[in-house]
């Protein structure tokens, strides 16, 4: 059996601080704002808060470009405010996981200022510098945010690598001094009492020697460098060294964000004897609605495709390693708009998706606003968008002649600002998020969809999440039980069975807008469901209503 651990039994809630709660009227969320909303999280029942970056940053990528790892971003408050926040969180019996962004820093970080200043500076080698090739960049890699992954710097007449924006130069993990400085910085935060790290694109830190050109698609001016920087040659060595130097000395939770990771690699990153990480964020289920052209190449994702992918991950990490479970984060569109129905069945389908995910094996992550069924947003003007990835894509594709309407459709479907519109607290101006002008507009549906409304409604999505979290805390089968798919060829239902120590849990979820029947006699009693009454059951037929979800439990 899988060994027990608190982080396997926990439910995590992600806060994107910029959009959670403003306490000063600046229009930007802040630490004291978060403190003022801890009741909401305690009532929901979550165990751990993961805070997206709150470090000093020029905000080219909303804090994922860090200028000083030991300072708090001025807009968010002071170190004292952060310490108070940590104390408040601990005081309520919850834990705090910080974001760790060490694949790159900001170009305004002191290390980079030193590094770019001369070829023989002590910090030169903290970043990845190369000479140009034939009057252009050193290789053909494109940046994740568009354009070349290389920026020419006149001071030393050479190029530095930036897999993200040009203000996010990649750190050079080949350099021993850099690695030791990172470990010391992590130790300082752990000694302050943080309970773990979510590690930003941590599987990008080891680049293949020689930085070879990547494969290039016909119309793309840039090559895909990912085979040479994702899960690179020294990644396990670096993580084991980090574990040895830092992680093993603390009782913490670690989750590595890992685009492009497959299930065998995930096992290697997370199995206990490898001494690396507790779990990873994989992205396969987030990429199923994208074509070969990447995230903006929109494709429908039929439910069976989603089902077989999630099932594959459940089975692959069943005995070794551990899964994270998530539908949403600050980079993804809202799940109820993506895989549910955010119109007529918003509440029912949001609850169905919640039940489907929270009854699986792994540690569930809830992203702010998911617990009240927040939806994607459609702003008319590109000027209303703030996200660097979205804006770069729009400008680049407009130059390529793609019509405005087509680009807005892509942004409505996949843009990161869908997740970043301010948290909808109540029906007052700007949804109670700020008394000033919000940095990103509030979704206009806030008068109907907000936390105050959810508190009033006993049948709300919020209380459904609360119930799911409570059940996970009470029942070992939800945390540790085995997983097996039921009805694996059905076009419209996602059903599975969990087993643990003689207990059985069966989960039935419909993705259909129409009623349907399953030939099945579920075991035991309905434990939880998203309709007031349990589904109809007559001589071996279970009648599921639109987007119905029900879990049945039997203790032998
Ligand atoms: C992944 C983060 O989640 C995303 O928001 C960020 O833009 C990139 N890594 C770069 O740090």
pLDDT in tens, 184-206: 999 999 999 999 999 999 999 99
pLDDT of residue 521: 87
Phi, psi of 113 (to 5 degrees): -55, -45
pLDDT in tens, 234-251: 999 999 999 999 999 999
The arithmetic mean of pLDDT across residues 448-465, rounded, is: 98
Query: What angle do helix axes 388-399 and 404-414 make, rounded to 10 degrees?
Result: 160
Residue with the nearest Cα to atom 2 of ligand 1?
200
* Residue in 56, 170, 200, 453 annotated catalytic: 200
For residues 279 and 322, the answer to whether their CB atoms sit within 8 Å is: yes
DSSP assignment letter at 287: S
> In percent, how much of the chain has pLDDT > 90?
97
Q: Which residues, other chains included, contact 232 with Cβ-Cβ below 8 Å and sequence gap of 6+?
A: 203, 204, 205, 206, 207, 208
Active site residue 257: yes
* Residue in 60, 81, 99, 257 annotated catalytic: 257
Measure 64 CA to ligand 1 centroid, in angstroms. 6
For residues 104 and 162, the answer to whether their CB atoms sit within 8 Å is: yes
Angstrom distance (rounded) from CA 277 to CA 292: 30
Residue 469 has pLDDT above 70, yes or no: yes
| Domains by residue range for the chain, with CATH | 12-104+176-377+418-465 (3.20.20.80), 110-161 (3.90.400.10), 378-417 (no CATH), 479-555 (2.60.40.1180)
Q: Does residue 50 have its Cβ closer than 6 Å to ligand 1?
A: no
pLDDT of residue 539: 86
Cα angle for residues 346, 347, 351 (degrees, 5° grid):
115
335 CB burial (10 A radius; 0-12, 13-18, 19+): buried
User: Which atom of ligand 1 approaches the CA of 61 most closely?
Assistant: 7
Residue with the nearest Cα to atom 10 of ligand 1?
64
Residue with the nearest Cα to atom 11 of ligand 1?
64
Angstrom distance (rounded) from CA 389 to CA 373: 25
pLDDT of residue 1: 56
Average pLDDT of the chain is 98
Q: Does residue 354 have its Cβ closer than 6 Å to ligand 1?
A: no
**Residue of 331, 386, 387 with the most ligand 1 atoms within 8 Å of its CB, for mutation:** 331
pLDDT in tens, 41-65: 999 999 999 999 999 999 999 999 9
Residue 556 has pLDDT above 80, yes or no: no
């Amino acid at each position: 059996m899988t060994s027990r651990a608190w982080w396997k039994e926990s439910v995590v809630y992600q806060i994107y601080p910029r959009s959670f709660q403003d306490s000063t009227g600046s229009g930007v969320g802040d630490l004291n704002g978060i403190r003022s909303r801890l009741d909401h999280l305690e009532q929901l029942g979550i165990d751990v808060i993961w805070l997206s970056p709150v470090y000093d940053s020029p905000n080219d990528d909303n804090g994922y470009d860090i200028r000083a790892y030991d300072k708090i971003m001025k807009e968010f408050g002071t170190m004292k405010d952060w310490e108070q926040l940590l104390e408040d969180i601990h005081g309520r019996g919850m834990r705090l996981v910080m974001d760790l962004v060490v694949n790159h820093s900001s170009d305004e970080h002191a290390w980079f200022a030193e590094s770019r200043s001369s070829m023989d500076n002590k910090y030169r080698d903290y970043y990845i510098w190369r000479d140009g090739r034939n009057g252009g960049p050193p290789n053909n890699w494109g940046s994740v945010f568009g354009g070349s992954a290389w920026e020419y710097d006149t001071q030393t007449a050479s190029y530095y690598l930036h897999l993200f924006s040009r203000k996010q130069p990649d750190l050079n993990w080949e350099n021993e001094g850099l690695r030791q400085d990172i470990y010391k910085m992590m130790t300082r935060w752990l000694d302050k009492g943080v309970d773990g790290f979510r590690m930003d694109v941590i599987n990008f830190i080891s680049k293949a020697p020689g930085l070879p050109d990547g494969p290039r698609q016909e119309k793309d001016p840039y090559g895909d460098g990912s085979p040479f920087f994702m899960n690179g040659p020294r990644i396990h060595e670096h993580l084991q060294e980090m574990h040895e130097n830092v992680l093993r000395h603390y009782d913490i939770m670690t989750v590595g964000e890992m685009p492009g990771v497959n299930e065998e690699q995930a096992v290697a990153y997370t199995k206990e004897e490898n001494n690396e990480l507790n779990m990873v964020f994989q992205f396969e289920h987030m990429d199923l609605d994208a074509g070969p052209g990447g995230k903006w190449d929109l494709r429908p994702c039929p439910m069976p495709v989603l089902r077989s992918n999630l099932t594959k991950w459940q089975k692959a990490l069943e005995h070794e390693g551990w899964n994270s479970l998530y539908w949403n984060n600050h980079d993804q569109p809202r799940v109820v708009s993506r895989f549910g129905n955010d119109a007529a069945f918003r509440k029912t389908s949001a609850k169905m998706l919640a039940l489907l995910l929270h009854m699986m094996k792994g540690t569930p992550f809830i992203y702010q606003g998911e617990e009240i069924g927040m939806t994607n947003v459609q702003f008319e003007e590109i000027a209303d968008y703030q996200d660097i990835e979205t804006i770069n894509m729009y400008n680049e594709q407009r130059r390529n002649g793609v019509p405005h309407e087509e680009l807005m459709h892509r942004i409505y479907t996949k843009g990161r600002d869908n997740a970043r519109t301010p948290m909808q607290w109540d029906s007052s101006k700007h949804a109670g998020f700020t008394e000033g002008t919000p940095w990103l507009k509030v979704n206009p549906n806030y008068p109907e969809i907000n936390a105050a409304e959810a508190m009033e409604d006993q049948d709300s999505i919020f209380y459904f999440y609360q119930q799911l979290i409570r059940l996970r805390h009470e029942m070992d089968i939800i945390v540790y039980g085995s997983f097996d798919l039921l009805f694996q060829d059905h076009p419209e239902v996602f059903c599975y069975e969990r087993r643990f120590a003689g207990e059985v849990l069966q989960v039935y979820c419909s993705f259909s807008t129409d009623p349907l029947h399953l030939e099945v006699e579920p075991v035991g009693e309905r434990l939880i469901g998203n309709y007031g009454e349990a589904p109809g059951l007559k001589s071996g037929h279970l009648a599921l209503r639109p987007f119905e979800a029900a879990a049945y439990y039997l203790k032998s």
